[in-house]
Amino acid sequence: MSNNIIKMGVAEAVMNYRQMEKHAGSGGMIREVRWQYADMANGGDGGPLGFYPDDFTEECGEEGPSCREYNYPEYQDEFFQEVCDLLQWEW
């Protein structure tokens, strides 16, 4: 993935999550995203999705693919680190 695509993705993620925080406050969804991003910033997989998406063709456990495996398959830890840093989320 090119640096320009990564930078655009970081900017888009930051804008999206700032809006979520603004409108949802500290709701469950943003708490989950913060946990997932912190986990992925540290090399983790963001945890299981908890379901098996119809368009996912890889083999995985009962809880379906991980957040990273399904939503961010080619993203490096640095992407999540930068998003966390810009949003001032601990990772």
pLDDT in tens, 26-38: 578 899 999 999 9
Res. 1: pLDDT tops 70: no
pLDDT in tens, 67-86: 999 999 999 999 999 999 99
Q: Using 50, 70 and 90 to split pLDDT, how confident is the model at 25?
A: low
Q: Using 50, 70 and 90 to split pLDDT, how confident is the model at 4?
A: low
In total, the chain counts a number of residues equal to: 91
Overall average pLDDT of the 30-52 stretch:
95
